[in-house]
Amino acid sequence: MVNEKVLVKDKYRIFKKIFKIVLILLIIVVVLAIIFFIGFSMKNPKGNIVLENPLKEIVFENTNEAGLVNKQEVVEAGVMRFNAEYINYLIVALGANNLHKSYVGYGNPIIEMKIDGESWTSEISKGTLNTNKGDLEDKDLLITISKQEAVEALLSPDISSFMKSSVSNGNTQIEMVAGKVELGSKGYLAMYKEITGEEMEIEG
């Protein structure tokens, strides 16, 4: 009788241990599913930034009655009128809609563009792109490009392909300033690969 009671207790303890392990595993699976859902939702923001190409009016001004565009005139006018709208359009075309506030506390994505010696800083916050003259110390990414190259990128039918060529031939330089963990938490890794065609090689 005593042995039977001991066996029953042992079986009960084993059952309790198995039940606890299964319960813990179930909780872990549920938590991971919730994290995945939140991450998926944040990677597909409802408010994507949509902008009109700022060269549209200049192209119209330099199109003749036959529908031919004087590209040289467009580029020259674009360089002369260059402003924050050009930078915003270029950054969005390069994949800014994939960027978001860091999940782990690093803040908003900040991109600096050095254009013909002038510094412009763009910050993405809640689906809005704010660009101003000047530089910031806590930037994530530094893009160095000339106004002419930027204007020609805006005129190209495929900005992504144009920028890949521009980076490979040295007309555009891209420098990742922040660490890899911070960059990854803001969505830069996919953007970098899209522009350069290479995986980012930065220690975090």
pLDDT (tens digit, 9 = 90+) per residue, 139-193?
999 999 999 999 999 999 998 889 889 988 999 998 889 888 888 888 888 787 7
Conformation bin of residue 122: beta by default, left when phi > 0, alpha when psi is -120 to 50: beta
Contacts of 49 (CB under 8 A, 6+ apart): 88, 92, 96, 97, 124, 127, 128, 129
Strand partners, 95: none
Please tell me the distance from the alpha carbon of residue 204 to that of residue 201, in angstroms, as a whole number: 10
How far is the C-alpha of 114 from the C-alpha of 117, rounded, in Å? Answer: 6
Q: Is the pLDDT of residue 100 over 50?
A: yes
* Answer CATH for 56-196 from 3.30.1050, 1.10.20, 3.60.21, 1.10.10: 3.30.1050
Question: First CA to last CA across the chain, in angstroms?
Answer: 64
More confident residue, 56 or 17: 56
Name every residue whose Cβ is closer than 8 Å to that of residue 97 and which is 6 or more positions away in sequence: 45, 48, 49
In tens, the pLDDT along 30-88 reads: 776 665 455 445 544 445 777 788 998 998 888 888 788 888 998 999 999 999 999 99
Q: Is the whole-model pTM more than 0.75?
A: no
Q: How far apart, in Å, are the Cα atoms of 90 and each of 15, 28, 114, 151? A: 62, 42, 13, 9
Domain ranges of the chain: 1-44, 56-196
In the prediction, which pLDDT does 200 show? 66
How confident is the model over 1-15, as pLDDT tens digits? 545 554 555 666 777
| pLDDT reported for residue 40 | 46
Radius of gyration of the chain (CA): 26
More confident position, 29 or 177 = 177
Length of the chain equals: 204
* Max Cα distance, the chain (Å): 106
**Tens digits of residue pLDDT in 103-144:** 888 899 999 999 998 999 999 988 788 999 988 888 999 999
> How much is the pLDDT for 46?
44
